[in-house]
Structure 1
Amino acid sequence: MESPQTLRRPSNWQDFETLCKKLWGEIWNCPEIQKNGRLGQEQNGVDVFGIPFGEDAFYGIQCKGKSEYNNSQFTTKEIDKEILKSKTFEPPLKKLYFATTALNDSKIQSYVRTKNIDHIKAGLFEVHLFSWETIVDLIDENKQTHDWYIKNQNYKSNKSVKLTFENNESEMIIEPKFRKRTYHYKQKIVQYNPRDRFNNNLFLDLSAIGQTNNQLNQSYSKFEIRIHNTGNEPLEKYKVFFNFKGEIQSLADNNIDGHHLSKLLRKHQPDVFLWEETMSGKVIPNDSILVGDDIFRSEDIYLKPFPKEYDIIIEWKLISKDFKETGELVLKVKPNIISDTKEILTEDPLRLGVFEKGIEDYLEDDE
Structure 2
Amino acid sequence: MFFHLNLLSVFRGVLYSDNSQGQDGVDIYGPIDGGTAFSGIQCKNRKLNLIDGSPNRISNIDVQSEIEKAKKFKPALKKLIIATSLPKDKAIEEFVRLQSMEHVKVGLFTIQICFWEFFERKIPEFETVYNWYVKNEGFHRIKQLSVTFKDGSVEMTYHPKFQKTVDRYIIPPTNNTAPDINPYTSSLANLLQSDINKMMQPGYNSIFRSTLLLSNTIDWEQLCWLELLVSNIGQAVVEDYKIELSLEGFFEKAEPERGNVLFNPDFHNDIKGYRNSNSHLYIEPRKKILVQGDSFVTGSFYIQPAIAVEAEIKLNWKLLSRDFTDSGTLIVKIVPQYHVIINRHEVLDSTDVREEISYSLIKRKGTYNIGSIDYHDKESDYPVS
TM over 0.5: no
State the TM-score, normalized to the length of structure 2. Answer: 0.43
